[in-house]
Structure 1
């Protein structure tokens, strides 16, 4: 329905009036709502405006009509959140695990095509070949076969080479990052991170009382070298955290010329670099130079995980570092990760047999198809309401509201309709990206995805200005 600006304001007011009416305290069971004519006279607006507001509520499943009787609504039961309820990330985590929730924000690329079956099948075969090892033979930094394979896979030249002793494998990425924070002495230190940045990383840094300076990505995924150089000159920067190739949640690739300039700048200042390599396997072409190929490997640490492209059965995190060997070995030994040596061997065999590379080729294609479908739906249903950053890999889409809106209200309205999005504020510690949101099409059939996108469009249109 095409409506004028005056009608647009009117239907929003009617919608909010009905929303309050539905949720008035004391309502039990079905609630009969005023007729179109009654509301038209009471609110002084046209019947067509009332009808449009009712149609929105009906599409959300909060209102239903009975022939020759009128409209009825079931009062929406508010969701009870453990704790204070003021933590946005906690709210997302808790509700995303509730039955009936439609999560439009998940970053789980492997869910589209997990490697669980071949991994577990190979693990069963290896169990027959390798007897259970005594505890004293366990390798606290990870299975040597897998560490050797990773070292070879990350080696690109005689100057940029890695050895098994440079590789450390932990039970999950969070545990590995916690060890890095301790080994590098980052508590109360100053680090620079590209922004937006993964919320898991930001929360860990915040809990460790690290002073974080955010360096926003520019259009096209580039970093401002002049701004970075000024920071390196005036701030006591301990290290900088950058993506190896593909930034998430933006899904953008840093341009090659910009990558070279940034690498030269960091090398010239002797800056320690912590490279996030979790997504580099998921860019659409799967090839090309990584940031680490341009840096001094003696002042570089690289971390990653298998989970993003293999699935939850391979949740291990790992780090590569030539330096800090004694401290890293000591912390991994003290952490006492309980790692299955046979499963690590199975992961290594999937690599050596070429299965991982075959899988990545298929996964990248499937992810791209799903992202294109979501972007088409967003443009069809929302028009110019969202400005989309064209992703070049990964499982998510990064978008910005075209008008200033209260994104918290958008999130809360969708949560009441059992839909979860990831507001952009989660990807910053300093209030950046407040008009952005991360969306994902993973786990939805075509018709269901269209319905959820429609609810998102309604929430954005109805949200008051920020």
Structure 2
């Protein structure tokens, strides 16, 4: 099969995506099935490896496939009956349910669902394709195109002492790939890492798979950071790396106060710890917020990671990392990984930054998210009958809900699946059994006509699943 003859209105990755959908639909409905490797598909379909990577990234984002380090990609099983997945891993069950037709998927936190820059990005890409014919495009830039690296370095620079250079920015095919490289480069296996909790389950699973000992530090009930416990851990545990959010911690939607930020920076310096800052939602606060944590800590013991897709949409799946240190090892790891990323797509993203189009879109997206959060808050107050407590989020696209009465959240998850609704149980966001009374619920429903009915069903499930 040769995809280069596809009609010009489609990019090759879109044709690959359709091919993969058909391939996935043919696999077993009972167990995960290994899919062809990037190189195998590249040879079979006569397209570049980066094109295959784009398609796989979109499929992974949609929950249709998942990747295993050094093993490749696998298709999730599609269970016709949710009871068939009752004994499986909870995350597998969530992904499998989200794949099924006609499901109301309220488990995610995808701000770009309210508005992406996919159209602008593809338009720019078409213009750049004419300007940079295929034969003039660099074949291999393992750390990313210089133009985009320079744009990110400029964006993250805030002062003469808090500045970044393009060669301190590293771009990978997706956030997972970048984090896997970081784990290898830092040699984290067997080390101790402290993270805020709840924490992104993708990050937690990667750390767990890499053999990292993760100590979770939950936010206090009143939304404060537990500084006393944090200092205790730094003093009594061999902690070399701390993972914290830049501005707002998601999914809890909690933000550090100025005194808390200053104290954290002081403790990190006192105990010689590195900060690994998660900036995935750093620019998605609804209103102007405090300075990011990275502006307060020692820049020589700082690494920052993020991605484009939360703001730009699924057409920009790249992840990226900023670090002043370990340049040789990071370059070596990126070279070994051999990301084959489209230079045209990266240049198009850089142009969105340079032209101001990114900032214009970001302002509009923040406004939409805030309006949607307010509308969802009104619905929760009206439909949930006081069965959950929450704080109205100040960033992102989801609510972090806590059941007022003790409940079996797994039972609620299962009951909602039978009504074609997917929620994200809170225990997914912990490796140590925290947040069993919580759930993440998306508010980017974009006018979902059955949302009130869905919330009524969720309120009833909370009532029926009470354990005391």
Q: TM-score, normalised by structure 1?
A: 0.81
Shift of 1:220: 5.3
Change in CA separation of 1:285 and 1:133 when aligned onto 2, cut-off 3 Å: farther
Shift of 1:137: 4.7
Shift of 1:264: 1.2
How many angstroms apart in 2 are the aligned matches of 1:152 and 1:220?
37
CA distance in 1: counterparts of 2:240 and 2:131, whole angstroms: 47
**Residue deviations 1:24-65 (CA, integer Å, cap 9, x gap):** xxxxxxxxxxxxxxxxxxxxxxxxxxxxxxxxxxxxxxxxxx
User: What is the CA–CA distance in structure 2 between the aligned matches of 1:392 and 1:323, rounded to whole Å?
Assistant: 33
Q: What is the SS of the residue equivalent to 2:450? A: helix
Residue 327 of structure 2 corresponds to residue 320 of structure 1: no
| Distance across 2 between alignment mates of 1:221 and 1:329 | 39
- CA shift for structure 1 position 244: 0.4
1:20 corresponding residue in structure 2:
none
The size of the alignment, in residue pairs, is: 389
* C-alpha distance in structure 1 between counterparts of 2:87 and 2:178, whole Å: 29
CA spacing shift, 1:417–1:446, aligned 2, 3 Å: closer
Whole-angstrom CA distance in 1 between matches of 2:87 and 2:333: 35
- Cα distance, 1:443 vs structure 2: 3.3
Distance (whole Å) between structure 1 residues aligned to residue 256 and residue 401 of structure 2: 18
User: Residue in 1 aligned with 2:344?
Assistant: 342
Note the alpha carbon deviations across 1:305-364, whole angstroms, 9 max, x for none.
001111000010000001111110001011111211011111010111100101010101
Aligned to 1:428: 430
Q: Is the 8 A contact 1:245 1:277 kept in 2?
A: yes
Matching residue within 149, 153, 156 for 2:155: 153
> Which is greater in Rg?
1
For 2:257 and 2:395, the matched residues in 1 are separated by 14
Q: Secondary structure at the match of 1:312?
A: coil
Q: Distance in 2 between matches of 1:230 and 1:251?
A: 25
In structure 1, distance between residues paired with 2:122 and 2:365: 19
1 CA distance for matches of 2:347 and 2:326?
26
Instruction: Please report how far the alpha carbon of residue 78 of structure 1 lies from its aligned counterpart in structure 2 after TM superposition.
Output: 3.1
Match of 1:44 in 2: none
Provide the C-alpha distance between the structure 1 equivalents of 2:174 and 2:251, rounded to a whole number of angstroms: 20
**Structure 1 CA distance for aligned equivalents of residues 342 and 135 of structure 2:** 10
Q: 2:273 maps to what in 1?
A: 271
Q: Is the contact between residue 115 and residue 310 of structure 1 (CA under 8 Å) also seen in structure 2?
A: yes
Contact 2:114-2:446 within 8 A present in 1 as well:
no
Match of 2:140 in 1: 138
2:369 matched to which residue of 1? 367
Pick aligned residue for 1:79 from 82, 87, 92: 82
The aligned counterpart of 2:303 is: 301
2: CA distance, partners of 1:390 / 1:377: 12
CA contact (8 A) 1:252 1:393 kept: no
Q: Give the match for residue 124 of structure 1.
A: 126
Distance in 2, Cα, partners of 1:401 & 1:339: 44
Determine the structure 2 residue equivalent to 1:411.
Answer: 413
Give the Å deviation of 1:80. Answer: 5.8
Whether the aligned pair in 1 keeps the contact of 2:405 and 2:466 (CA below 8 Å) is no
* Aligned residue in 2 for 1:180: 182
**1:81/1:177 Cα in 2 relative to 1: closer, same or farther (>3 Å)?**
farther
1:385 and 1:221 mapped to 2: Cα distance?
20
Report deviation, 1:204: 0.4
CA-atom RMSD, angstroms?
1.5
Q: CA–CA distance in 2 between the matches of 1:133 and 1:404?
A: 63
Work out the CA distance in 2 between the residues paired with 1:231 and 1:441.
35
Cα distance, 1:384 vs structure 2: 1.6
- Displacement, 1:288? 2.9
Equivalent residue, structure 1, for 2:250: 248
Superposed CA deviations along residues 100-148 of structure 1, whole A, max 9, x for unmatched, are: 1111111111011011000000110011111225686521100000001
Contact 1:141 1:170 in 2 (8 A): yes
For residue 58 of structure 2, what is the aligned residue in structure 1?
Answer: none
Question: Is 1:289 matched with 2:291?
Answer: yes
Q: CA deviation at 1:446?
A: 5.0
SS for the counterpart of 1:445 is coil
Q: 1:340 to 1:286 in 2, by over 3 A?
A: farther
Q: Distance in 2 between matches of 1:306 and 1:85?
A: 35
Q: Any gaps of 5 or more consecutive residues in structure 2?
A: 1-79
Q: Is the 8 A contact 2:146 2:166 kept in 1?
A: yes
Q: CA-to-partner distance for each residue in 1:88-111, whole Å, 9 max, x for gaps?
A: 000001110110111111111101
Matches of 1:85 and 1:444 in 2, distance apart? Answer: 33
Identify the match of residue 378 of structure 1 among 352, 375, 380: 380
Residue in structure 2 matched with residue 354 of structure 1 by the alignment: 356
